[in-house]
Amino acid sequence: MTTETMTAAPISSRIEAGPRGAKPKTLTASRVGIYLFLILAALFFLMPLWVMVVTSLKTMPEIQLRNIFQWPQQITFEPWLKAWDTACTGRDCNGLKPGFLNSVKITVVGTTVSIIIACLNGYALSFWRYKGANVLFGLLVFGAFVPYQVVIYPLIVGFRELGIFGTFPGIILIHTIFGMPILTLLFRNFFAALPPELFKAARVDGAGFWQIFFQIMVPMAVPITIVAVILQVTGIWNDFLFGTVFAGRENMPMTVQLNNIVNTTTGVREYNVHMAATILTAAVPLAVYFISGKWFVRGIAAGAVKG
C-alpha cells in the first residue's frame, strides 16, 4: 500500500488531487503510523455500536458472565422482540412501539410544517423585505443561541392558556418554533444566492408574491430542502427535552420512552432489552445518516457555518 502511493502517482496528478497535506514520502514508518492512529480511532468510535449489538443479542445469563465485548455464544432475538413489544415503563408494558409510532407522527408532521414555514420565511426575507424584516430576522438568529431553558416556562404557560400543552399540535408547534431560526437561515442564504434576474424577470411578467414562490422558488429549492429535511428529521427524532416537557403521555416520543424503559426501577434490569431498545431508537437517524451520506455532512456544515 505504501509503496504504491509512493511510486504510482505521477507528480501531475498529485497536484490535481484533493487532499493537500504533506505528500507521502520515503518514510513508510510514518504511513504505518497514520493508519494505525486512524484504525485505533475508528475502533474507539465503533466500540459502543459493537457493544450495543452484542449485548442485545445475548441472553441474561450470558450477560452475567461479564464480558461486554464478546460475541454471544448463543444468539437470541428475544430482547429485540421484548423491547419492541412488551418492555415495561412503570405499569405500561407495550414496549417501544407506541413511542415509535408517536415519533414517526411527530417527525413527519413537524418536519413538513417547519420546512414549509421556513422556506416561505427565507423567500420573503430574500425578495420581499418589508421594513422591519431584518430586525425580525436578527431576533430569529439570536433565538438560535438562546438556551431553551430560558423560554420553556413561558411557553408552558402560553400553551396551557391555549389549551395545547401536552397535545400533538403543541409538540408540533414547539418543533416549528425551535427549528425556525436555523431553517430560515438556511433557506434565506439559499434564496439570496440565486441570480436576482430570475426574480426580476418573473416580476416583469407580472407574477406576484405567491406565484413566484410556488412556480419558481419552490422547485428551485429542492436541494436545500433535502438538507433541511435531513436536519429536521434527525433533530426532531432525537429530541428529548421538548418531548419530555411538551408532548404529554399520549404523544410521548421514542427517546423519552426509551429513557423511561431503561430507568424503570421495578423488576430485574434486563440489559439486553435495554440495548435492543437503544438500537431500535437509533435506527431511524442512523438510516438517514447512511442513506444521505454527503448530504448529511452538508446539512451539518450548512447549519453550523452560518449559525
Partner 1 sequence: MAQLATAKEDDAAKAAGRASGRKPFRLSTLMSIVGTTPMILTAVGVFVICILYSFVLSFTNSRIFPAFGAENFVGTDQYARLWSTGRWLVSVNNIWFFGLLSIAANMTAGYLLAVFMDQRIRAEDLFRSIFLYPFAMSLVITGLVWRWILDPNYGIQATVRGLGFEDFRFAPLVSADTAIYGLVVAGIWNGVGVTMAIMLAGLRGVDSEIWKAAKIDGIPTWRTYLFIVLPMMRGAILTAFILQCVGVVRVFDLIVAMTQGGPGIATQMPAVFVIQHITDRSNVGLGMAAATMMLLPVVVLLGLQVFVQWRANQAKGKAS
Residues 125-184 that bind partner 1 (CB under 8 A): 125, 128-133, 135-137, 139-140, 142-158, 176-177, 180, 184
Instruction: Give every CB contact of residue 117 below 8 A, 6+ residues apart in sequence.
Output: 176, 180
Told to check if 71 binds partner 1 by CB under 8 A, we report: no
Residue closer to partner 1 by CB (options 44, 219) is 44
Among 11, 12, 66, 195, binds partner 1 (CB under 8 A): 66
Q: Which of 232, 252, 285, 295 binds partner 1 (CB under 8 A)?
A: 285
Q: At what angle do helices 168-192 and 97-127 cross, to 10 degrees?
A: 40
Tallying the residues shown for the chain, one arrives at 307
Q: Does 80 bind partner 1 (CB under 8 A)?
A: no
From residue 193 to residue 222, the character string flagging contacts with partner 1 as x (rule: CB under 8 A) and all else as - is ---------------xxx--x---------
Which range binds partner 1 by CB under 8 A, 48-56, 81-89, 94-102, 217-225?
A: 48-56
Residues touching partner 1, count (CB under 8 A):
106
Q: Tell me if 301 contacts partner 1 by CB under 8 A.
A: yes
- Contact between residue 266 and residue 204 where contact means Cβ atoms under 8 Å apart: no
In whole angstroms, give the CA distance from residue 163 to residue 168.
11
CB proximity list for 129: less than 8 A, separation 6 or greater = none
User: Minimal distance in Å, beta carbon 220 to partner 1?
Assistant: 17
Among 274, 276, 295, 302, binds partner 1 (CB under 8 A): 274
**CB neighbours of 221 closer than 8 A, spacing ≥ 6?**
119, 187, 190, 191
Neighbours of 191 (CB within 10 A): 22
C-alpha cell at 33: 503510523
Q: Which of 32, 49, 108, 162 binds partner 1 (CB under 8 A)?
A: 49
* CB-CB neighbours of 130 under 10 Å: 9
Segment interacting with partner 1 (CB under 8 A) among 50-58, 73-81, 193-201, 214-222: 50-58
Q: How far is CA 282 from CA 219, 275, 277, 301, in A?
A: 32, 10, 9, 22
**In whole angstroms, how close is the CB of 7 to partner 1 at the nearest point?**
14
Minimum Å gap between C-beta 212 and partner 1 is 9
Instruction: Identify which range of 74-82, 191-199, 214-222, 284-292 contacts partner 1 by CB under 8 A.
Output: 284-292
CB of 196 to partner 1, least distance (A): 16
Binding mask 93-122 for partner 1 (x = CB under 8 A): ------------------------x--xx-
The whole-angstrom separation of Cα 132 and Cα 303 is 24
CB-facing half-sphere around the CA of 89: CA atoms within 13 A: 23
**Minimum separation from the CB atom of position 160 to partner 1 (A):** 9
For residue 126, which phi and psi values (nearest 5 degrees)? -90, -35
